[in-house]
Structure 1
């Protein structure tokens, strides 16, 4: 009798443990999936904000803001035309952007290929209630785009510009395609037994992810649970229907929250199957208990010892071990869950590694994409002028150099190039600038060892330094400027040095500003190159500065020869 009672208690405890373990695993697995989707969405929103901020840093936008500050509407069409390039670049960098509207007191500015709905005034739309907030960045949930024709469903970003001129009543509205954001969230959600919602703090749907309306939308107690912390999970009972709820708040839109809901009954199907199997095992064991008690005890302890041995190996970081058994008993169920846990741990480790690698690549690409294209406008204007004055030979040379500059700069989409291509890239840039600024400067390139030409190197690191010399070093000089590029190597490093005889710089101030990630100062090119070198080579790469005005200003880059 004692044996039967023991078996019964074992079965009940196994069922309870399986139930609790399955429920906890469901909560944790759902939370991990939801957190990952939230991070992906946050990264998408962050990229849209960065693209918009980059547009605000462009010269056409700054010029437009100066006109707004001066209340000068006479140059409206000139500013609208000049803004087409940065607005077009925003859509190229972030394809999910549907349209962009810059509202100013002197007139609205937008991409001319977007059809503005002239019957709707900006301040008569749903955006009006968000214009007087103190926040610089505001996200607006699912709505119909009333500013442009097409009646597209979008979510919107409203940003106030940060400019040198203290402009007022200026707003940048970025409309993002609803389906693009929806696919970012749902592409990695493989469990269709759950319902997912993107909600605001007041429970309203920000973006429709599920065909079913939220069963808890008007329940204050449910919304109160969501406000307790940024992420977590809890049980929720509505009309006798028990739900398992996970939630995670976004960081880029603080009043938005991802919520997943799963029926507890769906989760218990597997547990009930375990219960049925357990009952049959209990019945068989009760019949054979009096005869085979010792054998059964030995039989049950053996897999436990095996599982214990595997756990000790896991403690020593051997995550490739797995529990195997040809039986279907309670220990086997625990062993299988142990296997699943190890697989999830291994998968999460790989996910973290991959996410860090992708983040590193995206940051490198984002920094490369920030290189100011202002010289391109000067180059095209010079080509037009020389063409009109019949300087055909110069026109041919400039078009050839511009083509080669883009060819070496794009480099087939690869971040890495060779030293030979990097030298050729900066040479074509210098040729173009000499044509644009005749008699402003001369240059020379000194290569210590031609065997270095095949060395891999991060692309577009010399051009921003040369651009600094031309734009900031020579503009105020009376005589001719000189640029001297020296390329040499030590035992384990490649040394790239750009020297000019320009007006120089305050080395301590520029060096301090260069090494800060965010800075209001204008040492943009140096901070760009320094940031990219650190992202790709880490602490093995560095930049050193020295300056004697109108004699020798030097920027020296040190890069590991083994970095690829």
Structure 2
């Protein structure tokens, strides 16, 4: 078998191809994501800055105009509240072309001129009486024909509130008017014309060259309209009025008007009631961001190509050692532990993997040699185990022979002891399970008692009380009851030299199994009870047969189930001793599942 050529593995299915494709996809996704996020954030920033700039400019223009109109309103208030100069002159019976009329004209003209001196933004102030008297200073000329105009009627209808107008057919003034009343009757109006150049300077907001700004009064009449856009591209008057009606309140919105996308910024003056609409064409606003986006795409393509070339080289250098290592593994797979080893000197994870692999192969060689030695020892151990199995069978056969001879010679006690010993040894040595049923545990006790009763001159009576036969199917720890019965017979009754009595009582208490072993032996003191449960040497002396004494039983139960389970001793010297075993109730299904786990 030849070592594999690493260059054969540069395929889409090979690791180098997967690394290259994966790295390329991640790079492409990263570049597209970053470019998209940067472009979208840049667009949003440009739009936000444009909207903020326009909103602030509109607000400042609105506030500046409100300040100016408030000053004009104060001038109007001064006029309508002046009785001697204004009201008395309007109500005067003097006719034109009279000396008195000239005096009145001069007096009111001087009064009006004094109000607008040093106010270049005011082009005219006029007082027009309903009786046909007209007084003004500034330009243009005004005569009594104004009495029949709609503006005159609107000012009178508006009453004491200030009215704001852009006279039809004029592009150079904004008129602020108010009714003049005397004795609860309208006797005329006062009007101040604001120079329209002030409006143009105030609303000169241009976020882009082709942006538009409109100021509409409460009747949707145009107070101001920018003229920066060619007439053919500008929305019509009806379209602007429709947008104003649809866009209620104030705020910002993206709208399509006549097939073009605009950012619409709207603000309504609380003082004049005029509405300011700013239309910012989206194309011109984002033209620079579009150029930047195209440039970013070009740079991203170049960077992506360079990264692809670098990733191809990197994937090749990364996988070449892996391919060499794979070829060596293929040799081992064929069972050739002695193979041509291409040394990998890299100090990265691949180099570590190579060194671990070589160590593993060397360990494998040693293990193979160890397996050959262990197999030889295993055959020897099997022979030894076979010989060991002969000994228990020989002992069982010998005991059966003694039992048979005792039966032939009519010696029932030897026959009974031999049979009990056979059953007891078969149960202890032949059953490797940790749990058994309570019935089987009681059978162990019966076999043990059959052997022990012949050691005493006086008979030992063992009585078993089962409150519910269903408890006999409960599973308990193996050899849990025999050490307690042994302790009762040998150390309780056996030392008295008289007839003894042992009672085994089994009952259930809630979810626990209780087994009591009570004897009428010599009893124990509290100190002896503590030594029996606490001293290992004492426990060994008290358990002759199995080596598992009272303390051993208690520790096994506590170790498996914890407190309060275990063995509890109660005794009174000279009268009795009672050992109580508390154990959880278990059925055969629960124990079988536990043993499997």
TM-score normalised by the chain length of structure 2:
0.41
TM-score normalised by the chain length of structure 1:
0.43
